[in-house]
Structure 1
Amino acid sequence: MNTQRRVSAAVIALLLGGAGIAIGATPAQAAETKFNVKCVPPAGGGGPVEGETTAKVTAPASAKVGDEVDVSWETVKPASNNTDLMDIPQDAVQPTGWITVGGGGGELKVVGEKKNPPIPKKAPMQMSVMKGKLKLTKAGKITLTPGKYDVAVTFSFGTFVTKCAPTGTVGVGATIDVAAGSSGGTTTGGSTTGGSTTGGSTTGGSTTGGSTTGGSTSGGSSSGGGGGQTDFPGKAVEVAFDCGPVVPGGIKTPVTINAKKNGGSYDLTVKTAKGAMAAPMALPAGALKPSMDVKLGGADSGTVKVSGPANAEPIPDKAPVSLSDMTGTYKPGKSGKVTLSPDQLTIDVTMAPGATPINVPCKATSSGVSLELDTAAQPGGSGSTTASGSGTSGGLAETGAEDEGGIKALALVAGTVILLGGAVFTFTPWRRLRGTR
């Protein structure tokens, strides 16, 4: 009886330690192995990086054909620390790995729980133990070697995956001595827990628009020829943007389109509302670059592209966040009264010098006419003119908008996208991000 109690206590201890054993298998054994990996961030997250990780694979020392045994992969040493861009929230990290089963067993998928303590900036990464079940189908020695793995980080605005794979030889993590027994089925891996993950940059098609609604003209009209009025101020119109999963519920903000006659063309300046919230984190210079499609209606059709410069100065933590003024040129292709309405807003986010920008499109689901011009067709003019302006440095719209929640939502785009970019780099060595290697 005492012997039975001791055996039961040992089994329970092993189960609680994450190294469970199946009926018929002997106590688990584990071995650590170090290997180099190459990690590829999601699209838009920069180039691949390399690091070294230490894995401990746990499995029974022996079993028999027909047994289904528990196998686990513990990350003893991650390939890198968290960066200093952001803190990772609790229960946001979920790892998935693939173990090569030597002796004709194929590949075993092991999955960890989405469970981790809060991980501060620059702190070591912490990932849960990955587990799976292996069905033994033939006698002999079965080797278990850790291989590629994915690390998914989930935020309120989406899940982003970094994919890592060995770059050299990897040592065997564990060996199972399989004795002859009942015949079994095929080798099976652990089922994936948690939702499916999605990759890095947000993409979107061109804006389809729809008919422009709302807003009466307040900007006067031009004569279309030389002389007369040259400045045409538009009115602020409330625009609702759908940014997909990046900003759940979308954003709402006033947008104003102003025009200045320049020969037969018009120089456009588009202003969004001034930021009314604190930045959720420090943003580097050059992080945010906005652009927008101005939709033409009435006598002319198509869109005019306007763009603004990236923020010239870093934005401190808790400081107001605003988008720069966007400028471009409209050269009329038709004569008559032409309306100009805000359409798709796009924010390009660059997390580090030389990194591929993360493109965040926000489709205008409702808009209105901000300005009407009385135009004269110009040679070479087109209703689909795409003219990117150089933009003005840091000019902010003073629209006096009462919907402060909408203004905050616009500012939140910047903060949210930066967090998205931070998630992309979560598992890459910080020295690589700084470009010092």
Structure 2
Amino acid sequence: MSAAGVALMLGGAGIVLAASPAQAAEVSYRTECIPPPISGLPPVQGTTKVEITAPAEAKVGDEVEVVWKFVEAASKNPDILDLEKDTVKPTGTLKAAGAQTADIAMEGSRTNPPIPKNSPMKLSDMKGKVKLTKAGEVTLTPDAYNINVSKPMSTDTKCTPKETVKAGATIKVSDGGGTSGGTSSGGTTSGGTTTSGGTTTSGGTTSGGTSSGGTTSGGTTSGGGDGGRSDFPGKEVAVTFACKSPGPANINSKVTINAKKNGGSYDLVVKTAKGVMNSPAALPAGALKPSMAVLLGGVDKGTVPVTGPANKDPLEQGKPVDLPDMTGTYKPGASGKSTLSPGTLTIDVTLGGQKISIPCTVKGSAAVSLELDTAAQPGGASGGDSGGGTTSGGSASTSGGLAQTGAEDNGALRALALVAGTVILLGGAVFTFTPWRRLSGTRH
């Protein structure tokens, strides 16, 4: 029986059969989702199931709409906090191949029902448009996607395929004599904060750049009397910091340590490069504060704590951050040539009365930025704890200790990060399976 006959028969029975050129196919693929670094949570391995709907046939010059429907997201909302209505927004990329190869940007609306704890994620359909420019077959394959949560603060979870993904739809494009043109992208819905396609990552590391403090060579003084000098500029040195979770994996920066004589002590000013790191999340003014344990060498031993003020202005997620100058006082504990080098950099993030301390230790041995000809002062450094500006541990180790963090071991740090990161910054955690049994074991 012909299709028309079937439609006529069903119509007579009171059933409407809508003829449509669209086709829909379900595709599933293994996926890894990366929570934002500030959450302190590990990557999640799961399976994404999507349904791609597109016209089965079209002509050159046509602009067609494609729909990406989430049948199943790669993970659930963990057993932490209920998500409010209309707080979740997906964006993604659809790969085109064959007669057309340009990617199609997909965007969903910030429309979702309330999502209880420990329940499947409910993501809105994503839509995108593409203008067809060549005759032939065009295959459409789902690729990476991003999930933005607007409350309690804006955070993103980035999900990428971990296997070759099968095409979800094919469009047969005939030569209709239409004019050629490039692809057009972008969703058809609006609302809330968006990210571009979910195919880029926020990184967390930036290259050194130039120091904000200017550089001078040397920085060496001669003679215990300093020859009447009071200012001692340091040398700019390149440093790679390895950060603990939930911070970025690495921070690359130029660091300069300058000193000014103040009686028998020295007022220190430590400068880092512009855009030394990317903001881990959208943060209000006063939320991020840096500090460093300057390493002493030569005749003197220990560390000197220097701290900077908190950020004056709000910070945008993923945008470069300029750390303010960090200051402190060095009281020499020995006479002779003492050296000062960059040590552990700590980033403190405070929100809602909760503080996350992210220690970033120096990879390898940091170069000397400043050398001073010092005279020992009562209560000076030399590895002691008696007010010479040294940290409570007095250790100059750069091998991954948690100086200045208040945490005694990595387990305690992760516990702090998880408690503060998941409760306050839950937006980034909602797309991860919650390994509570494993995490509870780190708190002993």
- When normalised by structure 1's length, the TM-score is 0.49
- When normalised by structure 2's length, the TM-score is 0.49
